[in-house]
Amino acid sequence: MTAMPPAADSSRTKAARHANMRTAATLASIAAVFFGGIVAAQYTGGTTVGIVAVGLGVLGFLFATLGRGRR
């Protein structure tokens, strides 16, 4: 015997899944920026590129968080 969940739970589940996917995409993009910065720093041989990549990742996360709060 299986019970069907109420319709309200379905919409909440979809909203939670959408929020989780958005958070995952944000974190994946930050990881990609860090990874790209590490690869670029190793390729160029300089440490400045790595520091810039970390800075861009932090600023990107900050702007994404602030932009998300304004909606």
The one-character DSSP state at 4 is: P
Q: Is 8 part of a structural domain of the chain?
A: no
Q: Is the pLDDT of residue 5 over 70?
A: no
Q: Which residue has the tokens 């909606």?
A: 71
On whether residue 29 sits in a domain, the answer given is: no
| Residue 21 belongs to a domain | no
Residue 7 lies in a domain: no
Query: Is the residue at 59 inside a domain?
Result: yes
Query: Contact at 8 Å (CB) between 29 and 60?
Result: yes
Angle made by CA atoms 24, 57, 38, in degrees to the nearest 5: 100
CB 30 within 8 A of CB 61: yes
Any domain includes 33? no
| Domain assignment of residue 68, given as a range | 46-71
Q: Which pLDDT does position 4 carry in this prediction? A: 60
pTM > 0.75: no
Predicted local confidence at residue 7, as pLDDT: 56
Q: Is the pLDDT of residue 22 over 60?
A: yes
> pLDDT tens digits for 24-44?
887 888 788 778 877 877 888
Looking at the chain, the whole-number percentage of residues with pLDDT higher than 90 is: 0
| Domain assignment of residue 30, yes or no | no
Domain count, the chain: 1
The pLDDT assigned to 27 comes to: 81
